[in-house]
Structure 1
Amino acid sequence: MQTPQIQIRSQFAQIQMQTLPSRQEIQQPKAQLSIEQPKADLSISRIPSKLTIDQTQAWEDMGLMHVFRSNEIFAQNGRQGLLEGISRRAQQGDELMRIENGGNPIVSQANANGYDSMKQIGIKFIPSHNSVKISYQPTEVQIDVKQNEPNITVQPQKPIHNYEPGSIDISMKQYAELEIDFVV
């Protein structure tokens, strides 16, 4: 006897995929930049130097002086001489008042008043040392600098972004099949 046979043939399903990749472009434009540097403010002020030479004392030492100054000196010398004369006469009057104490005041006063005093001998420098007065005030310079900050202007640019998304196409390349046969 013959038994029937079953024959089965199958075919798997197959899918196919087609991909289109995504595309992305990014561009970054440069920022617009502006820099301006103002000049610094500079001010210079100065007090000029000053040289002072006073030779009044040197001229007076040489006997060459202003008439008012010479009158003043002569008046001082006259007053000094007057005071010395008054003092000498008062002292000699006191000595004569005390003649009874001994001594010989009349002879000593006659000798003192009758002869000039001895002159001092020495070297006198004309004009005298340090008679010319010199003073110097140096120049004073004041420098003021005010720096000015730079003016910076920045204008950023937004990036340019282009994006195309990718895609996937999925389709059936082959459908599944199942064939069953009975063979007797």
Structure 2
Amino acid sequence: MELPRLSIHQTYAKIGIQTQAASLDIQSPPGELSIQQPQAKMEIESSRGELEIDSSEAWAALGMGSNLEWLNSIYSQCKSIALQAIAKIVEDGNRMAQITNPNNAFAELARDAFQRKNPIQYVGEASVDHVRLHYRAHAPIINIEPQLPLIEYTAHKPEIQYHPGSVEVYLKQKNSVEIRVSEYDKYI
């Protein structure tokens, strides 16, 4: 027996999507930097040192000092010269008193008196220690005024290019319904 057979076939629709991505191009040129450093202002004040030279002792040793110092020097020697003179007189008297001495004491004393030097020292010993030096240095006065650096920066804007993307939607496959009637044999 043949019976009609009903067949229904359905096809779904298919959507196709094609995309193109967006692109972004960014270029950033470097900025311009200018740095200048002015020199610091510096002032130095240096006063001269003080040198003191005292050569009064050297002049006094040469006998060319002040009259008062020279006379004081002679005066200070007088006491010891007087004592030495007294001792010499005593010694000379003792020599003249020695009558047993075969030498002529009077002739020797006359010769010694003729050769004797003046006991007063009018000048002193020459020495470098007589000159006194004293130096006083003064510290310098230093003023430094620092200067700030001059910094200039010029920025450049970035260069941006944007290319938009696209989306294309299309029907890739149509939907359909197919209905067929066919014969169907149950026993075959």
- What TM-score do the two structures reach when normalised by structure 1? 0.62
- Residue of structure 2 equivalent to 1:135: 134
Residue 129 of structure 1, CA deviation: 8.2
Equivalent-residue separation in structure 2 for 1:15 and 1:176 (angstroms): 10
Question: 1:74/1:14 Cα in 2 relative to 1: closer, same or farther (>3 Å)?
Answer: closer
- Residue of structure 2 equivalent to 1:36: 36
Asked if the contact 1:59/1:127 (under 8 Å) is kept, the reply is: no
- What TM-score do the two structures reach when normalised by structure 2? 0.61
Question: 1:74/1:175 Cα in 2 relative to 1: closer, same or farther (>3 Å)?
Answer: closer
Same amino acid, percent of matched pairs: 27
CA offsets 1:52-109 (integer angstroms, 9 cap, x no match): 32212221233213xxx42x458979xx9xxxxxxxxxxxxxxxxxxxxxxxxxxxxx
RMSD: 3.4
Which amino acid in the other structure matches residue 83 of structure 2? M
Equivalent-residue separation in structure 1 for 2:59 and 2:42 (angstroms): 48
- Helix, strand or coil at the partner of 1:48: coil
Which amino acid in the other structure matches residue 118 of structure 1? L
Q: Superposed, which structure 2 residues align to 1:38-117 within 5 Å? A: 38-65=38-65, 69-70=66-67, 72-73=68-69, 117=82
Residue 22 of structure 1, CA deviation: 0.5
Residue 176 of structure 1, CA deviation: 0.5
Asked if the contact 1:48/1:140 (under 8 Å) is kept, the reply is: no
Asked if the contact 1:31/1:155 (under 8 Å) is kept, the reply is: yes
Establish whether residue 6 from structure 1 lines up as the match of residue 16 from structure 2: no
Question: 1:10/1:128 Cα in 2 relative to 1: closer, same or farther (>3 Å)?
Answer: closer
Which amino acid in the other structure matches residue 117 of structure 1? A
Asked if the contact 2:48/2:137 (under 8 Å) is kept, the reply is: yes
- Helix, strand or coil at the partner of 2:130: coil
Question: 1:52/1:117 Cα in 2 relative to 1: closer, same or farther (>3 Å)?
Answer: same
Establish whether residue 182 from structure 1 lines up as the match of residue 147 from structure 2: no
Question: 1:129/1:42 Cα in 2 relative to 1: closer, same or farther (>3 Å)?
Answer: closer
Asked if the contact 1:40/1:148 (under 8 Å) is kept, the reply is: yes
Asked if the contact 2:62/2:124 (under 8 Å) is kept, the reply is: no
Q: How many residues align?
A: 144
